[in-house]
Homo-oligomer: A and B are copies of this chain.
C-alpha cells in the first residue's frame, strides 16, 4: 500500500550557472551547478514557494524517496498532509555550494586545472550559500519565498535570507539555531577538522588524485559530531552503561554507546566527502551576522524587521541551547519584528529538530496554515 502521506519517488534536477560566482572571501569560481528537488506545484501567483535549507550532512533530498529508495532527511516534516504540506506549497530543497551530493564542490574538476578542486575549493560561508540559493530562485522564477526554513546550520541560512533579502522572504522558520557559534562549538569543529587533516590519507585535501579517502579522520569527526547532537539524557536512556557481551577487558566494542558511535562514523565515512565536511564546519564557525555591526545583533537584524519569524528551540539541546535562540528572539523583538517563539521541552537534544515531536510539528503546521492564508496557497 502506498503511503498517502508520502511524496513517493522524487527526482532531482541540476541548475547550471555559467557566470562567475564571487565568494565572501573574494575568491571566484567560473561556473557552478546546484542540485535541487522540488515538491508540489508553484501556484499562478508564484507566491507559495518554500525553501528548505540543509544542515551539516544533509542534501537537496528533503522528502520522498530518491531513485535508490532513500527517504528524504526531513520526510516527517514535508509531504502531502505533513506540517509543510506539499499539496499547498511548492517546496524547494537544494544541495549547497561546496556540497558532495550533486552541487559543485571539492570533488569536481576545477576548469582551470582539469583536476578536482580538493582543498582549493573556496571556503564557503552561510552568506555565499544564500546568494547561490537566490540565483536558484531566479532560475526557478521565484521572486519571493513564502518561507525559508531550516534547523541548525539550515536555520542560519533562513536567518541570513531575512537579513540579506528581506524583500524576497515572507517568513523565516529558524529551529535549533544560534546567532553565532560559541568557543566550545568552534572547539568541537576544530577537533573534527584536525582529525581529518592529520589523516595521512588526506594528502593536503588532494586525496582524490591518490585514489584514497581520509576514512579514519572522517569517522572520528562524525563520532565527535554525534556526541554533540544528542542530549546526555537521551544517550543515558538509549545506551546507558549497557554492555554488548559483558566486560572483555580489551579494546573491542564493549559498551553499546561505543557500538553506536563506531557505526555512525563508519557509515558516514562511506558517503560524505571530507573536503565538504571541512568547508561546512568553517561556514558554521564564520557565521556571525552581528560581527559586521560591532557585535550588535539588533542592528544586524534591523533589515529583517519586515519578515515574520517562527523560532523554535529544544530544552535539552546543549549544542545550541535555548538561550542562544532567545538572543535571536530578543534582537528581533527589539526591531519590532513579528516573532513567534517556542521552547519545546523535549529529550533528544540538538537532533530533536529532525524528529517527529508532536508539539513541535503541531506548531510548525499551524504556522504554515497562517502563511497559506496570507499567500492563498
Mark contacts of A139-181 with chain B using CB atoms, 8 A cut-off: 1 yes-contact digit, 0 otherwise: 0000000000000000000000000000000000000000011
Known: A191-B261, A193-B251, A194-B220. A235 touches B25 (CB 8 A): no
**Chain B: CB-nearest residue to A279:** B251
Mark contacts of A248-267 with chain B using CB atoms, 8 A cut-off: 1 yes-contact digit, 0 otherwise: 01110011011001100100
Using A183-B255, A190-B255, A195-B195 as known contacts, list a sample of 17 further A-B pairs with CB atoms less than 8 Å apart, ordered by residue number in A.
A123-B250, A183-B236, A183-B239, A183-B240, A183-B241, A184-B227, A184-B230, A187-B223, A187-B226, A190-B258, A191-B223, A191-B261, A194-B223, A198-B216, A224-B224, A241-B288, A249-B282
CB proximity of A36 to chain B, nearest CB, Å: 26
Query: CB within 8 A of A251: which of B122, B250, B254, B278?
Result: B278
Mark contacts of A224-247 with chain B using CB atoms, 8 A cut-off: 1 yes-contact digit, 0 otherwise: 101100101001101111000001
Most buried by B among A219, A226, A232, A291: A232
A200 at the interface (CB under 8 A from B): yes
- Oligomer copy total: 2
* Across-interface contacts of A265 in B (CB, < 8 A): 194
Q: How many angstroms from the CA of A190 to the CA of B265 in the assembled complex? A: 12
Pairs across A and B, CB under 8 Å, 6 listed: A182-B232, A182-B235, A183-B238, A183-B257, A184-B235, A187-B257
Q: How many angstroms from the CA of A97 to the CA of B230 in the assembled complex? A: 35
* Across-interface contacts of A193 in B (CB, < 8 A): 251
Q: How many angstroms from the CA of A239 to the CA of B285 in the assembled complex? A: 14
Mark contacts of A37-59 with chain B using CB atoms, 8 A cut-off: 1 yes-contact digit, 0 otherwise: 00000000000000000000000
* B25, A249: Cβ atoms closer than 8 Å: yes
Q: How many angstroms from the CA of A216 to the CA of B201 in the assembled complex? A: 13
CB proximity of A173 to chain B, nearest CB, Å: 26
* Across-interface contacts of A255 in B (CB, < 8 A): 183, 186, 190, 285
**Chain B: CB-nearest residue to A259:** B190
Known: A181-B241, A188-B227. A286 touches B194 (CB 8 A): no
Sorted from nearest, which 9 A-B pairs have the closest CB atoms?
A25-B249, A183-B235, A198-B216, A123-B249, A183-B239, A183-B257, A191-B223, A190-B258, A184-B232
* Across-interface contacts of A100 in B (CB, < 8 A): none
CB proximity of A123 to chain B, nearest CB, Å: 4
Interface size class of A (residues with CB under 8 A): 35 or more
* B241, A220: Cβ atoms closer than 8 Å: no
A305 at the interface (CB under 8 A from B): no
**Chain B: CB-nearest residue to A190:** B258
Known: A190-B261, A240-B183, A286-B247. A220 touches B220 (CB 8 A): yes
Mark contacts of A330-372 with chain B using CB atoms, 8 A cut-off: 1 yes-contact digit, 0 otherwise: 0000000000000000000000000000000000000000000
A197 at the interface (CB under 8 A from B): yes
* Across-interface contacts of A219 in B (CB, < 8 A): 194, 198
